[in-house]
Every structure is written in C-alpha cells, then in structure tokens.
Amino acid sequence: MIARVGFLAVAMLSASSATYAGEAEEFLFATEAGQAIGSSDACGYKLDASKVATFTETRIANLGQMARMNFSSASSIQPDSIGTMTETQKVSHCALNQALAKKLELL
C-alpha cells in the first residue's frame, strides 16, 4: 500500500513538473517571438508580413493564455525600450532579435 501511494505521489509530482516545464517553455518561446517581432521596425530589419501572420495564427494563438499575454507584452514594449538604449546596447539588442527572427523563420 505504501509503495502504491509513493508511486502515485511521484507520478503526480512528475506530471506537475512536466506541466510547469511546458508552461515555462511556452513562456520563453512567447518572449523570444514577441521581442523579435516587436523590435523589427525600431531595429530596421524587415519581417515577412505573411510569415508573421501565419506564425501568429498557428504558433502564438495556440499557446496558453499567460504565454500569449507575455507575447503581447514583449512585443509592445520593444520600441520604447529600444529608444532608451545606448547605441552599443541597441546594436547588440537588434542583432540578437534579428537572429531570433531568422530562427523563427520570420524574415
């Protein structure tokens, strides 16, 4: 009996850890996508509008609510954030987010 209870406890913890890991992964993915999309105009790299629309409809729309909200926040804050950066920070930020946009196949 104790072994069964112990097994169930481990199974429940594993399931909860897997759920948390999946949510954390979604959250980080949404952040990267939001930063890459939100930075494009301020950084001067051009995204393919049809790829962005398809990506948003098929990838972002299927994320959990918290991840979608994080995507919106990350994309919205980028232009203002970039405006306050030093030139060196902007160069680094823009290079990183252009690379992310390329990784996400949005260019």
Q: What is the model's pTM?
A: 0.79
Contact, 91 vs 42, CB < 8 A? no
Report how many domains make up the chain.
Answer: 1
Ranking 11-15, 71-75, 96-100 by mean pLDDT, the lowest is: 11-15
**pLDDT per position as a tens digit, 80-97:** 999 999 999 999 999 999
Residues ≥6 apart with Cβ < 8 Å to 89 = none
Residue-number span of the structural domain to which 22 is assigned:
2-103
